[in-house]
Structure 1
Amino acid sequence: MQAELNKVIAALRDFYAHEAFLFEKDIGERAITHRFAVYLERQFSGWAVDCNYDRLGERTLHLPHGTIISTDDHLGKSIYPDVVVHQREIPNNLLAVEIRKASNHTPLDHDQHKLMAMTDAHIWFAYWIGVLLVLDRRGVTTSEVYVGGLVEQPLSRWFATRLGESGLGAAR
């Protein structure tokens, strides 16, 4: 998993080297997410990198009814992961990334629960790794790594340390 997370760090390094304008002009999260996906795609040769991809093979991604962020919809709440690294046809799901701007003061609960569900093999064919990134103009202010439907604390600490060593965030 560290190899994949190192690719996320490499993509973040390139993103910050070329996309300062987005933060200087306070551009929205969707534009930031898209631009990050461009750099992430360069790191994952042979994989599809998509924004807001709401499918799992032929099925639409739904959080199960009754989860903390579901609606009264009998099928559950449709979700749109910010960025995914996957093989569309199989499906083979490697990485899901949720991105937030540090200036977004709404609670992180929604993104955290999405990543828990998207990495939980008991819900559907899960993503192997989930990553939460909170970004500001200088780097990553908060990060979490999800595996098996939970925050993976040792891997989250390792990732935060590597971000800090890369000049992209403070080690936590």
Structure 2
Amino acid sequence: MQTELNKVVTALSEFYAHETFLLEKDVGERPLTHRLAVHLEHQFAGWQVDCDYDRLGERTLRLPHGSIISTDDHLGKSIYPDIVVHQREIPNNLLTIEVRKSANHQPLEHDQHKLRALTDPHLWFAYWIGVFVTLGRKQVAMSEVYTGGVIDPAMSIWFAERLKDTGLRAG
């Protein structure tokens, strides 16, 4: 897991090195997510990197009936992860990332619920790793790592330390 998270750190480092224009102009979350996905593609050879991908093979990515987890469509069924690293045809789901801007003052719970659901091994579309990052203009303001349907405190601390070591997060 640390190998994959190190790739995310490298992609974030490249993102912050090359996307300062977008960060300084305070563009919306979607262009930032797209550009981060471009940098992730360079790190994950043999995997597809997609934004707002709502499929698992031929099936639409939906939460189980009666789930308390909020969704992104008007019918309250489908969810669209910000970024996924996967193999579409198999399907094989490695990594899902939820991205927020630090200027977003909406509650974090929506993204946290999505990551818990997307990494829940009891659901048919489980991703091995979930990452939540809040992007500030100069560095990552906040991060969390999810595995097995819950936040992984040890990996979250490790990931935050890796970001700090590379200058992407304040102490």
Q: TM-score per shorter chain, which class?
A: over 0.9
Q: Would you say 1:81 and 2:109 are equivalent positions?
A: no
Q: Would you say 1:162 and 2:162 are equivalent positions?
A: yes
- What is the rounded CA distance, in whole Å, between the counterparts of 1:33 and 1:18 in structure 2? 14
1:91 matched residue in structure 2:
91
Long gaps (5+) in structure 2:
none
CA contact (8 A) 2:54 2:80 kept: yes
1:67-93 deviation line (CA, Å, top 9, x unaligned) = 22347x9x8521000000000000000
Aligned with 1:106: secondary structure?
coil
CA contact (8 A) 1:64 1:76 kept: no
1:91-118 deviation line (CA, Å, top 9, x unaligned) = 0000000000000000010100000000
1:8 matched residue in structure 2:
8
State TM-score, norm by structure 2.
0.95
Amino acid at match of 2:129: I
The percentage of aligned residue pairs carrying the same residue is 69
State TM-score, norm by structure 1.
0.94
User: May I ask how many residue pairs the two structures share in their alignment?
Assistant: 169
CA contact (8 A) 2:24 2:137 kept: yes
Long gaps (5+) in structure 1:
none
Amino acid at match of 1:42: H
- What is the rounded CA distance, in whole Å, between the counterparts of 1:64 and 1:25 in structure 2? 39
2:141 matched residue in structure 1:
141
RMSD of aligned residue pairs (Cα, Å): 1.5
